[in-house]
Structures are given as C-alpha cells and as structure tokens.
Amino acid sequence: MLRVVLSGVESVGKSTLAARLADRFGGALVPEFGRTYTEGLDRPLTLADHHAIAEGHRRAAAAAASQRPPLLVEDTDIVMTTAWATMLFGTRDPPLAAVPSQADLHLLLLPDVPFVADPVRMFGTLDARARFHAVIEAEFAARGLAPLRIGGDFAARERAAVAAVAERLA
C-alpha cells in the first residue's frame, strides 16, 4: 500500500486534490479530520484540541489502512497538525512532534494560488500564508522529511501529483 499525504497552508487545494487522487487510482481517502473537528467549535482552538485532532486523524487513517487499499490518500497528517499547533501557539509541541508520519510520499502544495476565505480558515493574508508555509517547511525539516513541492494552478498541481503517485505505484 502506498500512503500519500497532502500538506500545505489553507486554500491550496489539498482536499480537492486528495479526493481526485483517491478516485483516479481507486484508493481510499482519509479526509482532513481537523477541519471537521473545528467546524463545530464555538471557541478558540487549544493545544488539547490539536492532540484530539491528531488522535482522530490517526484512528481514521488506521481504519482506512486496515482495508488494505493499494493507495491511501490522507488530506493532511501529523506533520500539519504539529505545524498548526506551532503556528497558533508559537512553539513546537513535543508530544505532537514525537508522533511519526506514516506517509510514503508527502506532497506539499505551495501557497501560490489565490486564497479563498471560509468560516474556518484563519491565515489569508500574503504575510500570514508565507509565515505558515515557513512553519510547515520547518516541521518537515525537523522531522527529516523531504516533501515533493507542487505549485502552479490547480490543473498543474493535479498533473504533478498524478505523475508522482503513478511513478510510486508503478
């Protein structure tokens, strides 16, 4: 089973691309647990919420992986949960940082497409997006992971992601 995770700041197309990859290759999709978790929240996020998000995502990914699909596509994982906590609270959380990513391939979508606001998204300015992207890059570096960076318009992102997954599946 090939395990692919999409990462990146808000509004770069992770959810759409994750679903398209899973559909195209007949894989299983693990949706972004953090978004579902925060949509119903009527208070600011806490560090404890990030621990709950990490655990919820872990459970959902484990359930999907137990079905042994040829491809498991995760819309974010522990790398992004840790980066979110760092961005919101100003320091890297050791318990989150200690949880390893299970991905075989990390696709990091670059913040070079326009931001689309919604009620859950927080970091829409160019400066905030650049800061958040730097936090994500630092998280990958701290974990010794080398993501495949994908930019360009949404069609170019999909072509690059499809090629990377096809190459790994071959």
Q: What are the boundaries of each domain within the chain?
A: 2-169
- Say if residues 9 and 113 touch (Cβ distance below 8 Å): no
Query: In the predicted model, what is the mean pLDDT of the chain?
Result: 97
Average pLDDT, stretch 84-112? Answer: 98
Which three-class secondary structure state does DSSP give residue 1? Answer: coil
Radius of gyration of the chain (CA): 15
pLDDT at 40: 82
List all residues 6 or more positions away from 59 whose beta carbon is below 8 Å from its beta carbon.
none
Percent of the chain with pLDDT over 90: 95
In CATH terms, the superfamily for domain 2-169 is P-loop containing nucleotide triphosphate hydrolases (3.40.50.300)
Angle (deg, nearest 10), helices 126-142 and 78-89: 130
Average pLDDT, stretch 11-28? Answer: 98
Report pTM.
0.97
Query: What distance in Å separates the CA atoms of residue 49 and residue 63, rounded to the nearest whole number?
Result: 21
Count of CA atoms in the C-beta half-sphere (13 A) of 38:
22
Q: What is the pLDDT of residues 29-71, one digit of tens each?
A: 999 999 999 998 999 999 999 999 999 999 999 999 999 999 9
- CB count within 10 Å of CB 40 equals 6
Is residue 114 scored above 90 in pLDDT? yes
Average pLDDT, stretch 118-141? Answer: 95
**What does DSSP assign to residue 111?**
S
pLDDT at 82: 98
Q: What is the pLDDT of residues 69-80, one digit of tens each?
A: 999 999 999 999
How confident is residue 85, by pLDDT bands cut at 50, 70 and 90?
A: very high
Is residue 145 scored above 90 in pLDDT? yes
pLDDT at 119: 86
List all residues 6 or more positions away from 10 whose beta carbon is below 8 Å from its beta carbon.
115, 121, 122, 123, 124, 129, 132
Query: What distance in Å separates the CA atoms of residue 6 and residue 161, rounded to the nearest whole number?
Result: 10
